[in-house]
Amino acid sequence: MAADQVSTGTRAVESIRTTVGSLVSPASERQREIRRVIALCLPFSVLLLFSGVFPLTEMFRISFSESRLVTEGFTVEYYRTMVTDPYYRNIAFNTLWFAAATTVTSICVAVPVAHALEKYALPAKSVMLTVLSFPNSLPGIVAAFMIIILFGNTGILSNVFAFLSGQSRIDVAIATSVGGLFFAYIYSMIPRALLLLRGTYAEVNTDAEEAARVLGATPLQTFRYVTLPQIKPGVIGAFILVFRTGLAIFGTVLILKGLLVWTLQIDRELAQGFNIAQASAMATVWFVFVFGFTVLMLRYTSAEVSI
């Protein structure tokens, strides 16, 4: 047994030595290609290790700590709390249904816009694209502030609705309600869906669409039976991208507080009593869910959506 272990160790050392040697002095084109790939990816790999893998590992370890303030002992109490406590179950439910609702709405809005942008020669198209993509560069706090300006107690649209309905401005203001948060979410998510859908539309076979129209299909039938199957990978990819965004949004919900969702509760765990173990457990569940969801859904699309 000992001799086998020594032999295995020797072979492993020899394998590592051979690999390092091939990288330092490559003898074939394949080895030179591997060396180039490693050199190109090395800066990001180092960053991923120290700013991604290490913090995640530490967060996972903290989530099993018996102490709320320091890392010591081992317990699954914080995970059990998330499963058994109705408070946390409601937060998880709120997070999922709200992210799903805003995702579906965003895609339903983005598909016809992408169709119009790619199928028709629109005037000032570059200006339109700039305006449509602008929310991608806005922080969530700014998006929340814009919703307050529109739908707050003294908001522009609140004044208009109050005038038309005869109600007070406070009664019609929805900035800090679920409705206000809904508008803030889709404002940030529609441009992300558009980004992916436009790329998919660019690859649609227009000859098949023209053939369908020649055979008598209406524009709606052409879209239903010819275009939609072709953009299906982009729609699924947009769903993955936008749904993940909906789960991750924090700045907007921090300001508007229209609904208690997972990211906001993680902030509360840290801000109210610094319950770092519970916050780590929640962050771990969030990460595992999003990663697993992405890996699973990528099986149903060929669209380029990064994990």
Q: Quick one: pLDDT at residue 106?
A: 95
pLDDT value of residue 203: 81
- The SS3 call for residue 152 is coil
Task: Read off the pLDDT of residues 121-176 as tens digits, 9 standing for 90 and up.
Answer: 888 888 888 888 888 888 888 889 999 999 998 889 999 999 998 888 888 899 99
pLDDT for position 77: 92
> Can you give the pLDDT at residue 122?
83
Do 165 and 216 belong to one domain? yes
Number of domains forming the structure of the chain: 2
Cα angle 202, 207, 213; round to 5: 110
Q: Are 55 and 92 contained in the same domain?
A: no
The answer on 182 and 55 residing in a single domain is no
CA pair distance 91, 149, nearest whole angstrom: 27
**pLDDT at residue number 303:** 62
Residue 131 lies in a domain: yes
Residue 247 lies in a domain: yes
- 52 and 103: one domain? no
User: Whole domain around residue 54: which residue ranges?
Assistant: 1-63
236: CATH: 1.10.3720.10
Same domain? For 55 and 189 the reply is no
Are 224 and 181 contained in the same domain?
A: yes
Residues 99 and 216 in one domain: yes
Note the pTM of the prediction, 2 decimals. Answer: 0.82
Q: CA distances (Å), 116 to each of 23, 109, 122, 133, 242, in order?
A: 50, 11, 8, 15, 20
d(CA 52, CA 57): 9
What parts of the chain have a pLDDT lower than 50?
307
